[in-house]
Structure 1
Amino acid sequence: ASFDISARLCESEELPTTTRYVTLSHCWGDKEFFKLTQHNHEILRQSIPVLSLQKTFQDAMFLALELGIAYLWIDSLCIVQDSYDDWLYESKKMGGVYCYAECNIAATGYRDGTSGLFGERAALPILHPTLPLKCVLFKEDFGGAEQHFNGFYTAADSLQFELQVNRSILNSRAWVAQERALSPSIIHFTPEKVWWECSEMVADEAISSHKFFSTVQNRPGKTIRSLETDQKREIYRFWRRFALRYAGTRITKSEDRFPAASGIARVLEGMLNENYIAGFWEGDLVRSLLWRRTGVVHDIPPTQLAPSWSWAHMCGDVNNELDHHFEDIEPLEGVQIKVLSEVPGFESDLKSLPIERSCVRGLAVKGPLRRLPPNLQSNLQDNVEMD
């Protein structure tokens, strides 16, 4: 069916601002495939040879039309791949591209675009048995009022979403982490099943009518579009959770560590109206510095574009174990933060520190110092020592 589709390249400036469109997230893989270049730019404005596209692109076009949407944004077809200037221009718009799409189509379970979205399914059936259950949660065990649960409940493997989506090769990529965080909703295609993800629920094709899967465990919670400008604490929390996940993702070029998160940074800067410093927000800097490395650093040289106290300095998993102890406190009085020096990059449209090719080399924090309480000391990992 996708072979009957006709397509052409459209300039966004030519379309009404109310145009409905969807986006595609995909792994590029190692094989060469058809892309937008300076040579074929004008040709593709007349017609895109659909048969020359990867199967995933063809299937995404077909799905968009089935959803009643005539426009699809694909990075390799909407950014001129042999033009650094166009990449720079378009990368500054990434926040809006994914944030204002109707939804994101994600080829989550596939290493490249040759398999498509509708490939052969695994032989295992999708079963969610329904069982009668009687349960009482007592106040002394969980806090709050006593609760009774009587009725029929559906059972499912809670690890499926973690294994098939969260740990997929697609979601291990830095650029895709931003796309996922910006998108209002996502349709994940995997060899096992189709998943739906948004800020309200996570569901699979077998259970799609109610909030079955825990959004607390599977998603960071709010989407960027649901944040309110007057709720700075929520915005800070959103960014800290994103940054901790993003730090563990892989990226081909270490110098792209900041650009690959710049879409979210630009959106949040407009909401916070404060300086963005090497991966942190000035108003939340003291709390945000409570991160540490966990596990093994990926086999990618650490970027020298970030200072050593920034999570962006290295490419590996980080944790903010102490962060939840400080969620409900106000900033400490008397703490002063001063940027000692900056290494400027090229011009950026961010009002604060340019994030594409720049960093802060010095930071001074002045304030009261107190010994860590014993209960917090006992929670620290063995590889952390505090005197």
Structure 2
Amino acid sequence: MSLSLFRSATAQDADIQGRANRAWSRPIDLPDEDPSYHLCARHRAMNLEVDDFFNWPIYKELPPDTHFGKLSDVLARSSWCNFCRLIAESASHTAYGHVAEVIGCWILDGVLRGSQNNGSSDDVGSLRLRVIPEMVGWEDAFEPFDIVPLLDDSEVRAFSGRAMDKDHFSLPLVKKWVASCNSWHGSQCYGDLNRDPEAKWGIPFIRLLDLEADMIVELPRPGRYMVLSYVWGTTPVFETTLDSLPLLRKEGSLLHYFSQFPATIQDSITMTKLLGMRYLWVDSLCIVQDDPEDKKVQITAMDQIYSRAYLTIVAAGGEHANSGLPGMQPGSRNISQHSAMYSESLNLVSILPDAATAADSSKWNTRGWTYQERVLSRRCLVFVNDTVYFQCNKAVWGEDYRAEHPDFVQCAPMYDYSLSRSWKQPQMHKKDEYRISQVNASSFFPEYCKVISEYTSRDMTYASDRINGVNGILTELTRRSQVNFIYGLPERGFFSESILWQPMRALRRVSVDPRSEMPLFPSWTWAGWIGGVAFISPFDYNGHKPLGPDQQRTVSCREVEVCYRSAMSFPCLSITTNSAKFKLTLHNRSEKIGELPGLTRFGITYASQGGTILLPKVAYRMKLNQTHEFIILVTEYTAIRSVQRDAHKKAHIRGDDRA
């Protein structure tokens, strides 16, 4: 027993020592400052060499974090320390210079197939040094960025930095990306695009720009073609109309009208030609914009238009259709790479944000229509932040970073990192990049909830497009699960669960159709409201322990179905259930956040038990003394089986006031 205690104490001591060795706050012997070295004492003490970034055993503990001092100290040393200057130039801002500590945190970067086969010490990857801020409220400080060796073409090594042209992207590099994906990834990225040419599209034809004949053509079974995903914005966009369509179907017409196209479409046409492709799909030109019937037919095929495309050009860097593709035209980009000579044998460079991170913060990523374009596209050429990226199902490649390799397995842009900020090693998590190809019948409903949650938080210019903007994804979900949709909600066993969506902010009712004087969509579907919604996790409960995984948790009410009334133009809900009356309180037993933009999470009082409900903050705080009638849609059981309580937001106020 004493031996066991001794071992435990020894292990504990080792753990404490391990923490002390990894923590950025550990004491380090530093040399004297000497500006003549062009490196400060902290960076000289690192004693970096090129090989420190490569050939790192992937199962070996990462090097410990390094403290570079306060940001204000780094800025002060940047006039003579090359490394400090690199940090100062790369930081997104320096507003918290006197409170932000600057930390260098090593993360695992690239791994090639064959270098991680058996867990031996010979399995190796590459590293990058992530510079992060440490402070209270660190998310307000500068954005983390990564540093890697900058190598020239004479000493190419996978996962090293690459010099970029200031004015133009490298067309040969873009061509290499596409060709490499075709050759190395095959069916995982491109093979499915070579579908049976006789396969049906479900529509009579797809309309495309024929860039050899310079005209619009209508093809029932198109071959290889590219598509454009972009932001219209407030810029006037040349549109195909019933009047202009006959003219655009004449040979040479695209050349005639070319000067009237916005810059993004012009550049996309040029890019398509440079890649040796003949056909391009652009929504404003390939859908007749003043023909409701043509719109309806073509929108039903959006899932196939984007998923069958050879390549999607994503113009994510602009606010409108006239922004163009950076690097296509002279003066259209002004990229800056920040580098520093650490030593005669090591030149360091800070690399740009990865494709997903850059696109996430773009105007393009806030628009409703672009959500399904991003999800459905198999391969994207993303223009954003004055640079270009290639993203497919297997890789993410960028201009300033070498990752193209036939044995590619992973690289840092494919992962999110939980950075140490203490003594722990960074933890890798696969980026949550949604792909419709991952969905099958068994995962249908969770994936549906994820899609609706992400899509409804985006902006849509016209409320009438609320369902159209995600219809391509819904069509693909139907194909994979055999579940149909009515006003954006799934039928066949999922309907009563799907109407339990919740607002993530104060919602606004959709407008009324001026022809019928009825709302465009019913109030019971998320499509009937403007604003983000989400679905509550089955593990969200109100202070009671949930039941075990093998026990039934929820029971639907007796009957919820859609019916049509002759006097109304759209379906209504027919509910056979019970109703109940409750008062609201500002106290609730949920572990969820109390308030969201414009909303308050109210408790529902019912004897000693209760649920919660999200309602507009101002209006319902004035009604705490009133009794509200609820329609019971689902009854949920907790560990207290004798109590049937209204689930956490699983009841709806009668009428248009809903949670």
Equivalence for 2:336: 125
Once the two structures are superposed, the pairs formed by residues 215-294 of structure 1 within 5 Å of their partners are: 220-224=432-436, 226-227=437-438, 231-282=440-491, 283-285=493-495, 288-289=498-499, 291-294=501-504
User: Is the Cα contact below 8 Å between 2:264 and 2:324 reproduced in 1?
Assistant: yes
Question: Is the contact made by 2:381 and 2:388 (CA closer than 8 Å) also made in structure 1?
Answer: yes
Q: Report the Cα offset of residue 100 of structure 1.
A: 0.9
Counterpart Cα distance in 1 of 2:396 and 2:376: 16
2:386 is aligned with 1:192? yes
Highest relative contact order (Cα 8 Å, sep 6+), 1 or 2? 1
Change (3 A) 1:84 1:160: closer
Aligned twin of 1:212: 412
Instruction: Tell me the distance in 1 between the aligned counterparts of 2:339 and 2:501.
Output: 39
Partner of 1:25: 229
User: Which has the larger displacement, 42-51 or 191-200?
Assistant: 191-200
1:2-151 aligned at under 5 Å gives the runs 7-13=214-220, 16-17=221-222, 19-46=223-250, 47=252, 48=254, 49=256, 50-118=258-326, 120=331, 123=334, 125-126=336-337
Tell me by how many angstroms 1:52 deviates.
3.2
- Show the 5 A alignment for 1:158-173: 161-162=356-357, 164-173=358-367
- Taking structure 1 as reference, are residues 36 and 128 closer, same or farther at Cα in structure 2, changes over 3 Å only? farther
CA distance in 2, matches of 1:332, 1:321: 14
The separation in 2 between residues aligned to 1:20 and 1:55, in whole angstroms, is 24
How far the C-alpha of 1:195 sits from its partner, in A, is 3.0
Secondary structure of residue in 1 paired with 2:381: strand
- Distance, in Å, in 2 between the alignment partners of 1:314 and 1:154 is 47
Q: What amino acid maps onto 1:197 in structure 2? A: Q
| Offset from partner CA, 1:296-350 (integer Å, 9 cap, x none) | 5479759934444433232222344526769x968757546744333599xxxxx
User: Residue in 2 aligned with 1:145?
Assistant: none
- Matched with 1:141 is none
- SS of 1:176's partner is helix
**Could you tell me how far apart the structure 2 residues matched to 1:208 and 1:321 are?**
42
Counterpart of 2:601 (choices 381, 384, 387) is 384
Moved more, 329-338 or 173-182: 329-338
* Within-5 A mapping of 1:325-344: 335=556, 338-343=559-564
Shift of 1:12: 1.9
Q: Matches of 1:191 and 1:122 in 2, distance apart? A: 9
Kept in 1, the 8 Å contact 2:311–2:379? The answer is yes
Please give the alpha-carbon distance, in whole angstroms, between the structure 2 residues aligned to 1:234 and 1:31.
40
**Contact preservation (8 Å) 1:22, 1:64:** yes
The CA deviation at 1:253 is 1.8
Structure 1 equivalent of residue 188 of structure 2: none
Q: Give the 5 Å matches for 1:305-344.
A: 305-320=520-535, 322=537, 335=556, 338-343=559-564
1:21 positional shift: 0.7
Q: Normalized per residue, which structure has more strand? A: 2
Can you list the C-alpha shifts for 1:335-385, whole angstroms capped at 9, x where unaligned?
Answer: 46744333599xxxxxxxxxxx9555345679xxxxxxxxx8223434323
Q: Which residue of 2 aligns with 1:143?
A: none
The answer to whether the 8 Å contact 1:107/1:188 transfers is yes
Relative to structure 2, which stretch is displaced further, 187-196 or 215-224? 215-224
Q: Is the 8 A contact 2:456 2:533 kept in 1?
A: yes
Structure 1 residues 159, 182: CA separation in 2 closer, same or farther (over 3 Å shift)? Answer: closer
Change (3 A) 1:380 1:116: closer
Q: 1:160 to 1:80 in 2, by over 3 A?
A: closer
Paired with 2:232 and 2:241, the residues of 1 have a C-alpha distance of 16
How far is the alpha carbon of 1:155 from its aligned partner?
7.2
Instruction: From the superposition, tell whether residues 206 and 360 of structure 1 become closer, same or farther in structure 2 (CA, over 3 Å).
Output: farther
Work out the CA distance in 2 between the residues paired with 1:188 and 1:362. Answer: 47
**Equivalent AA in structure 2 for residue 263 of structure 1:** G
Q: Name the CA distance, whole Å, in 2 between partners of 1:337 and 1:220.
A: 37
CA distance in 2, matches of 1:127, 1:299: 49
Q: Deviations over 1:1-34 (max 9, x none)?
A: 9xx9762111022xx45x0111101222323332
- 2: CA distance between counterparts of 1:315 and 1:41? 34
Check the 8 A contact 2:511/2:520 in 1, yes or no: no
Distance 1:183 1:338, change over 3 A: farther
C-alpha spacing 1:113/1:278, structure 2 compared with 1 (3 Å): closer
Match of 1:183 in 2: 377
Q: Output the CA distance in 1 between the equivalents of 2:392 and 2:431.
A: 8
Cα distance in 1 for partners of 2:389, 2:572 equals 40
**Alpha-carbon separation, structure 1, partners of 2:452 and 2:339:** 34
Q: Which moved more, 1:174-183 or 1:115-124?
A: 115-124
The AA in structure 2 aligned to 1:180 is R
CA distance in 2, matches of 1:20, 1:72: 9
What is the Cα-based RMSD across aligned positions, in Å?
4.0
Gaps of 5+ in 2: 1-170, 172-210, 343-347, 404-409, 417-428, 514-518, 541-545, 579-588, 604-609, 611-659
SS at match of 2:478: helix
Q: What is the match of residue 361 of structure 1?
A: 573
Report the Cα distance in structure 1 between the residues aligned to 2:349 and 2:496, rounded to whole angstroms: 44
* Structure 2 letter corresponding to 1:56: T
Label 1:125 to 1:298 Cα distance change in 2 as closer, same or farther (>3 A). farther
Partner of 2:122: none
Structure 1 stretches lacking a partner, 5+ long = 132-152, 346-356, 367-375
Question: Is 2:378–2:392's contact at 8 Å kept on the other side of the alignment?
Answer: yes
Deviations 1:235-269 (A, max 9, x none): 33332222111111122221221122222212211
Structure 1 residue 112: deviation in Å?
2.2
- Matched residues, percent identical? 23
Alignment CA distance shift 1:222-1:212 (3 Å): same
Match of 2:144 in 1: none
Distance 2:538 2:292 in 1: 39
Tell me the secondary structure at the aligned position of residue 532 of structure 2.
strand
Corresponding residue SS for 1:80: coil
Tell me, yes or no, if the aligned pair for 1:227 and 1:235 is still in contact at 8 Å.
no
How many Å separate the matches in 1 of 2:565 and 2:272? 42
Matched residue count: 336
Deviates more, 1:117-126 or 1:102-111: 117-126
